[in-house]
Chains A and B, each alone.
Chain A
């Protein structure tokens, strides 16, 4: 077995009381592993945005964290409506979040661009069945 640590987190749709818990847990795992603070911050920002995206837009999903000595991988897969136009969704300020979500301080349209900015490789696949984000961070 190669040296890898894996952990999986269930994300529930519209559950704002536990939103952010998965990314907080990911952060504490990275702290225990002694990962460089600036890298922890990048992963934390991306993980938090991805988690909130799933809570706000999807019907729920999973975040899978895989850590090897040279890479942190975060695979976020959800079921739900998917993203109609990924290119537009990647634009800063573009948002499909409804009014009530915006009133909570979310949905400013910075999520996906911010995720991309913080990871080393970013891939997104989306169709009407859901969205899969594959985020990698080099250690």
Chain B
């Protein structure tokens, strides 16, 4: 694929050209040029940090329009477990399942059930690269591809719960209703843009099994209305276990997978710090690292409605009321035995940090970056449109910025010019005499 699909985009009309997003982007993928933000496609990992911090809501996430379900004869919803944290006083998953059916879905397969299957395959984690790193958060996987390529071998060989749910949903629906799998559309209800991106640019497989994705925030209003309807009490069939549902929270995957020696970290800047330590082999006695880009885990996704801490506490109360037992080994084994739970393709590195393909040229440019950085004020104010003075120096060397874009450099230059003009005027006057 030539152009990499990104869910995270800019609404130019709303952008005021402030510096909030450039300062918060974990991969320094945004610049402000000519008064508007620009996203550098190769660097963006679709984590959605910019969506969270933009005061003007100029950063948006593309998700599919709900009308897309009409493209398929049979429509299945794949709700992320984070969805359950959005509703007050939710006492059972059945109500959500039936609410989704009232919205027009023929069936519902919870992503938490996909998580149940993935958790049951955790004993198959490759133990030669410690710590094993979770593959569940697409923003973190992409972060590793672009910024920590040496850790790619540590990522576990397991499909995400979303992909696993899509595989199982299609297969089970087709078998039960004697339907053609091509007629079945499976739609993920996503808390984040990174998952949307991973449907278009899948990792660990060539083509995603998911047909499309709607954001939790888009579904929220419609679904909340359905939940209020009387009669939404019937049995929804098989539902996920408490273990699968808790994948929505940071640490949920580790707990569900029965791993004791784990480290669960949420929030992308925190994850970056720990990945640096893993790269320095400081944590080589650790068995499993679960890194999630959003605060609190998926409950804190930028496309959710509820405050992540509230959502987390709601899932905790819901947890007491739902199935406490993991699914039967007979059920999960079918997806382990036929290999569907494992990656089909290796994850590839996409290092983006290098400044020139030729090493000697890169060294020269690096010298230039160092000397420009020394000349810049070091305030990292962002007024030039680059996230830091160092990043600006890199941009200048790449040809994307000029030293006079720095307001402090410009001020010095202007005062120098003013002095020179005064000198010149004085000299001219003296000449006149």
Q: Is the CB of A37 within 8 A of B349?
A: yes
The reply to whether the CB of B224 lies closer than 8 angstroms to some CB of chain A is no
Q: Is the CB of A32 within 8 A of B366?
A: yes
- The segment out of B56-64, B69-77, B110-118, B273-281 that lies at the interface is B273-281
Q: Is the CB of B282 within 8 A of A31?
A: no
- CB B150 to nearest CB in A, in angstroms, measures 4
Q: How many A-B residue pairs have CB under 8 A?
A: 63
Residue of A5, A20, A24, A41 touching B150 (CB-CB under 8 A): A41
User: Chain A: how many interface residues by the 8 Å CB criterion?
Assistant: 26
Q: Across the interface, name the chain A residue whose C-beta is closest to B353.
A: A31
The reply to whether the CB of B149 lies closer than 8 angstroms to some CB of chain A is yes
The reply to whether the CB of A53 lies closer than 8 angstroms to some CB of chain B is no
- CB A25 to nearest CB in B, in angstroms, measures 10
The reply to whether the CB of B172 lies closer than 8 angstroms to some CB of chain A is no
Q: Is the CB of A33 within 8 A of B351?
A: no
Chain A residues near B353: list those with CB within 8 A.
Answer: 28, 31-32, 34
Among A5, A7, A67, chain B packs the most CB atoms within 10 A around the CB of: A5
The docked-state distance in angstroms from the alpha carbon of A4 to that of B360 is: 8
Among A20, A24, A27, A34, chain B packs the most CB atoms within 10 A around the CB of: A34
Among A3, A41, A105, chain B packs the most CB atoms within 10 A around the CB of: A41
The reply to whether the CB of A87 lies closer than 8 angstroms to some CB of chain B is no
Q: Is the CB of A7 within 8 A of B370?
A: yes
The docked-state distance in angstroms from the alpha carbon of A114 to that of B359 is: 28
The reply to whether the CB of B206 lies closer than 8 angstroms to some CB of chain A is no
The reply to whether the CB of B328 lies closer than 8 angstroms to some CB of chain A is no
- CB A36 to nearest CB in B, in angstroms, measures 9
- Chosen A-B contacts, 27 in total, with CB atoms closer than 8 Å, are A3-B360, A4-B363, A5-B366, A7-B370, A24-B276, A27-B276, A28-B353, A31-B354, A32-B353, A32-B354, A32-B362, A32-B365, A33-B366, A34-B351, A34-B354, A34-B355, A34-B357, A34-B359, A37-B349, A38-B150, A40-B150, A44-B280, A45-B279, A45-B280, A45-B281, A48-B281, A139-B359
